[in-house]
Amino acid sequence: MGISERKEREKEERRAFILDTARRLILERGIDSVSMQDIATACELSKGALYLYFDNKQSLLEEFFHEAGSYFIDYVQQKIRPEDSGLQAIRTLWLSYLEIFGESSEIIVLFGVKNALNPGFPYIVEENSGAGLQEPLLLFRMIQDILSRGVADGSLDPSIDPVRVTRTIIMITGGIVENVARLPLAMRNNRIILEEMKETFEIVLRGLASPGCDRSLLVLPIE
112 with 26: CB under 8 angstroms? Answer: yes
pLDDT at 105: 63
Of the candidates 54, 79, 99, which is a domain's last residue? 54
Please indicate, yes or no, whether residues 85 and 26 belong to a single structural domain of this protein: no
Range of the domain at 45: 1-54
Q: Percent of the chain having pLDDT more than 70?
A: 88
In 3D space, the residue among 70, 72, 59, 76 whose CA is nearest the CA of residue 22 turns out to be 59
Q: Does residue 47 sit within a domain?
A: yes
Q: Does residue 203 sit within a domain?
A: yes
Please indicate, yes or no, whether residues 103 and 207 belong to a single structural domain of this protein: yes
Q: Which residues of the chain have pLDDT under 50?
A: 128-132
Q: Does residue 223 sit within a domain?
A: no
Please indicate, yes or no, whether residues 1 and 13 belong to a single structural domain of this protein: yes
pLDDT at 106: 64
Q: Does residue 81 sit within a domain?
A: yes
Of the candidates 54, 80, 98, which is a domain's last residue? 54
Angle at 138 between CA 51 and CA 159, to 5 degrees: 150
pLDDT at 129: 47
Please indicate, yes or no, whether residues 149 and 197 belong to a single structural domain of this protein: yes
- Overall domain count for the chain: 2
Please indicate, yes or no, whether residues 49 and 80 belong to a single structural domain of this protein: no
Can you give the CATH number for the domain in which 46 is found?
1.10.10.60
pLDDT at 131: 44
Can you give the CATH number for the domain in which 81 is found?
1.10.357.10
Please indicate, yes or no, whether residues 45 and 99 belong to a single structural domain of this protein: no
pLDDT at 111: 66
Please indicate, yes or no, whether residues 76 and 120 belong to a single structural domain of this protein: yes
Could you count the other beta carbons within 10 Å of the beta carbon of residue 73? 17
Please indicate, yes or no, whether residues 68 and 151 belong to a single structural domain of this protein: yes
